[in-house]
Copies of this chain bind each other. A is one copy, B any other.
Amino acid sequence: MMTWQAVQSEVLTRIRTGQWPAGGLIPTETTLATEFGCARATINRALTSLAESGLLERRRKVGTRVAEHPPQQSTMTKVFIRGEIEARGAVYGYRLVGRGLAVPTEQVTRQLILDRGQPADEAQVIYFADDTPYCCELSWVNPEAAPDFALADLTDTSPHEWLSSHVALNHGTMSISATNTADLPEFVGEAFGVDPGAPVLVVERTHWANAVAVTVARQYFREGYALSSTI
């Protein structure tokens, strides 16, 4: 009997060897089912899975094509900072260094879709690995999207942890850039120590709950830190 994984593996081989060239049509499900001596559903299971990963393109009536340019996609399994620190074998530490209601920058106002001049909840926290500042985070929360946030106890729970258990954040964007110590919020510079030329990695995340922008968080990592992912 042919399992769908075996079918998939054989298909991959034919693509790699060039027997089924990129851009070309491959045989129909029915044909392959006959050839491999299995049910069409089994072929379908194998091909659907490859199509989901982008290696094949399938269209009714047309057939299944080997993708010309399979998507170059990298996935970053970004766990919580806490997990990241503990995965390094370090002791996780966390401190809330400031919070309040403030009018955010114009950029954040746009990102949270607030009215001009409308205040948002702000929190400044530091994550430690073995008592050394590992990451500084400045986050803003849309008060209309999460009215209880202002009352949240953040002394032991990070803003993101609180939010993810109180609001169904279901999508978002992330942006990674480099800056240097001179351009940081004050509490970040203090935590990392004064060295005005040192490069800092900035990860900015915006999280949404359906059609509502809930939070923008900027995380700062000192020189030497690297975000990694697989391709």
Which residues of A are interface residues toward B (Cβ below 8 A)? 16, 69, 71-80, 83, 168, 171-180, 182, 196-201, 205, 207, 221, 223-231
Contact = CB atoms under 8 A, between A and B. Distances in A.
Given A168-B16, A180-B198, A174 B74 contact: yes
Given A76-B229, A177-B224, A180-B198, 7 more contacts: A75-B76, A176-B228, A177-B227, A178-B199, A178-B221, A180-B180, A207-B231
A5 B77 CA distance: 25
Nearest to A83: B69
Nearest to A180: B199
Interface of A is mostly: strand
Given A197-B196, A200-B199, A175 B72 contact: no
B77 A76 contact: no
Copies in the complex: 2
Interface centre among A16, A80, A173, A177 (most CB of B within 10 A): A177
A65 B121 CA distance: 34
Given A177-B225, A199-B180, A226-B177, A77 B71 contact: yes
30 contacts: A16-B168, A69-B83, A72-B78, A72-B80, A73-B75, A73-B76, A73-B77, A74-B75, A74-B174, A75-B75, A75-B76, A172-B230, A175-B227, A175-B228, A175-B229, A176-B176, A176-B226, A176-B227, A176-B229, A177-B224, A177-B225, A178-B179, A178-B199, A178-B201, A178-B225, A179-B199, A180-B197, A180-B199, A196-B197, A207-B231
